[in-house]
Structure 1
Amino acid sequence: MPVEIDAKTQRCTLIEQDVRYEGPAAQIRISTDEQLRMSIAELNGHRVPITEVEADALTVAGAVDGRKHLKATTSGSVI
């Protein structure tokens, strides 16, 4: 799991491979990476791909939610 959240202090850690980026939840921005087609958590210029469950947990902790819905442009898509 690339995200750790301390609910008491609202500090979060983003983990990418063996590197850990830590800071207050309010300084984390959640966005959508259109090429990866998934959410990204960004802290101090470091971007870490995360699941939607992790994105939701971060926003509950106080992260800024800048996600947007992507829609398929292929005809016949169920989206």
Structure 2
Amino acid sequence: MRRQITEYTSPLDALVALTKQLYSYEIKYQTDSADFFVQYQQGKTDDDEDKFDWASNYRHYLALRQELESKLRNVA
């Protein structure tokens, strides 16, 4: 399967897009992304392509969120 790379103009745009992707996984699997990720890290989920992508997207989401929160703290 060929992967598509999407570039965003800002971290906020990327965060919004990732949030939408995470939500689609949450609906599909009826599980919150944070709960899924804990289970994934503990090896309690399948390691199929869908779950791997979900975990990767969630890691990226966490990193972007931390980056944006850090920037917001430095504004004050």
Coarse TM-score class (shorter-chain normalised): 0.3 to 0.5
Pick 1 or 2: higher relative contact order, CA cutoff 8 A, min separation 6. 2
Q: Which has the higher strand share?
A: 1
Q: Which has the higher helix share?
A: 2
Q: TM-score, normalised by structure 2?
A: 0.34
Q: TM-score, normalised by structure 1?
A: 0.33
